[in-house]
Amino acid sequence: MSTRAESSAESKQRDAPLAPVSRRTAKAARTDSLLNAASRLFADRGFHGVSIEQLAKAVGISGPALYRHFASKGALLAEVLRDISQRLLDGGMARVGDAGSPQEALHLLVDFHTDFSLTEPERIRVQDRDFANLSADAAHDVRHLQREYIELWVDVLQDCDPALDAPTARLKVQACFGLLNSTPHSARGGDRATTKAVLTEMALAALAAPPLTS
């Protein structure tokens, strides 16, 4: 009898932490769903063309329930842009850290950003069209992350070519982003593998990236 009771108590102890963890996991999943839905709807209709009710309905919750995740529609927009800016910076830093040379780092960065432009065109469209709708604080945060990402590329480009000055390197990087970020909108319906190959080749040529040596 005692053994059975102890076994039951141990089972309850093991199970006790799972409920809070499950709730946190569910909330995180719901937040991700909201970010994806907001990206899609904002890209299609613009920030002012989407209501809280439409955002909530897209993920199967009520309007009031959305406020458990975000204080306002503006806060949701801010997180959409903050999230992608942070992921770009983190992903870029990881690729540079994995590279064995500046040349390899540049190739990895181009590959990474090309994948982003082809898989998340909605976020790019939201950034282009609705950045002006961010609050001053949110705009500052997003711009800071974006500047860090640009400077990561600038550093790699200068490591590849020490004679290249920072302003010119920065201009090249921003022009490269313009190429990669805009093309998916004007080249819809094409084969993704072909599109990626062409974009990668053009981006590396624009950056004057030296070839990788085996």
Confidence of residue 107 (pLDDT cuts 50, 70, 90): very high
191 and 141 Cβ atoms separated by less than 8 Å: no
Domain boundaries, the chain: 73-208
Range with the poorest average pLDDT among 126-130, 144-148, 192-196: 192-196
Residue 156: both structure tokens together: 């790699």
For all residues of the chain together, what is the average pLDDT? Answer: 87
Contacts of 154 (CB under 8 A, 6+ apart): 166, 169, 170, 173
94-102 average pLDDT score:
97
* pLDDT tens by residue, 15-34: 444 456 676 776 778 889 99
Residue 99 exposed, middle or buried by CB count within 10 Å (0-12, 13-18, 19+): middle
171 sits in which H/E element: helix 166-186
pLDDT digits over 150-160, tens only? Answer: 999 999 999 99
Confidence label for 10 from pLDDT (cuts 50, 70 and 90): very low
Q: Which range, of 39-53, 75-89, 163-177, 180-194, averages the lowest pLDDT?
A: 180-194
* Cα 135 to Cα 154: distance, rounded to the nearest angstrom: 28
pTM of this structure: 0.83
Second CATH level (architecture) for the domain 73-208 = Orthogonal Bundle (1.10)
Mean pLDDT for the stretch of residues 67-78: 95
Q: Is the pLDDT of residue 14 over 50?
A: no
pLDDT for res 18 = 44
Average pLDDT over residues 111-124: 94
The answer on pLDDT for 94 being more than 50 is yes
In this predicted structure, what is the pLDDT of residue 29?
83
